[in-house]
Amino acid sequence: MSRAFVFPGQGSQAVGMGRELAEAFEVARHTFEEVDDALNQRLSRLMFEGPDQDLTLTENAQPALMAVSVAVMRVLAQQGGVDLAKHAMFVAGHSLGEYSALCAAGAFSLADTARLLKLRGQAMQKAVPVGKGAMAALLGADLEQAQAIAADAAQGEVCACANDNAPGQVVVSGDADAVDRAIVLASERGLKRCIRLPVSAPFHCALMQPAADAMAAALETVAVTAPVVPVVSNVTASAVSDPAEIRRLLVEQVTGMVRWREGVLFMKEQGVTALVEAGAGKVLAGLAKRIDKSVSAVSVQTPADVESFLNAFNA
């Protein structure tokens, strides 16, 4: 079995995430303490106890999701000897999950990753005034259809494909009026459902350029080393290991489309037969089934999941 480890993005957070892991494994507890110290914030208490509206804030959700993902990977390493260099072909993450992937693969320190994601969340939130931007899921659209709808809806404003998640699930992002026009056009063109998403900013489009500039400056100050396995970039849907290229692509990723569907297909073409989603939720495992049923996918987020995965891993 050829594995890739994948790491969830925003939207997978939920109050209580990581708590069972911290109670069961000292290494997970220490991971959360390390993130708390790096941010000078009791983020772990917010993760375990809420309130939900505070955890959902972009600047909290991003480092929190990364912390759970890295804790899962450290537990798997300690409890079952899982070593990415030996046991994985690739790592990949959805949007902020790309930072989790890079941290898990040793490209960034945990403290640097936490601080980068806190800044990334703040910069993305500040880039566009609340209410000016929006995102919508065009369900039933393929990428080409969604791109045509976005182009026709723009009318001089920003409207672009932000996430190509799976066949029939493309997300558009941009100015609120343009996104509303895209919803109307999509309906007129026969798409089954178009949903405006409950997000606080229009991620992965040109309106995020101020956040991209902030990340370019921040990434220049942080040490990046070659990951122990290649990372499949959101921007290129192909493998990258060079630290300078990793930096460049992380800046592009802020305004660029997340090419998740293509990234999964790239890993499959390279011989990956199984995806392991490390962290909160089961979104990526669900998308994998829609992208290519021949690639198996499991989610690991609780002590029971850890036990189940390691039993199969060491069988």
What positions carry a catalytic annotation?
Answer: 95, 204
In single-letter form, the type of residue at position 70 comes to: V
Among left, alpha and beta (phi > 0; psi -120 to 50; other), residue 74 is: alpha
Q: Is the separation of the CB atoms in 290 and 267 below 8 Å? A: no
Q: How far apart are CA 64 and CA 46, in angstroms?
A: 9
Parallel/antiparallel/unpaired status of strands 274-278 and 159-166 = unpaired
Q: How far apart are CA 234 and CA 253, in angstroms?
A: 7
Q: How far apart are CA 179 and CA 30, in angstroms?
A: 43
Q: Per-residue b/e over 39-51, b at no fewer than 16 CB within 10 Å?
A: bebebbebbbeee
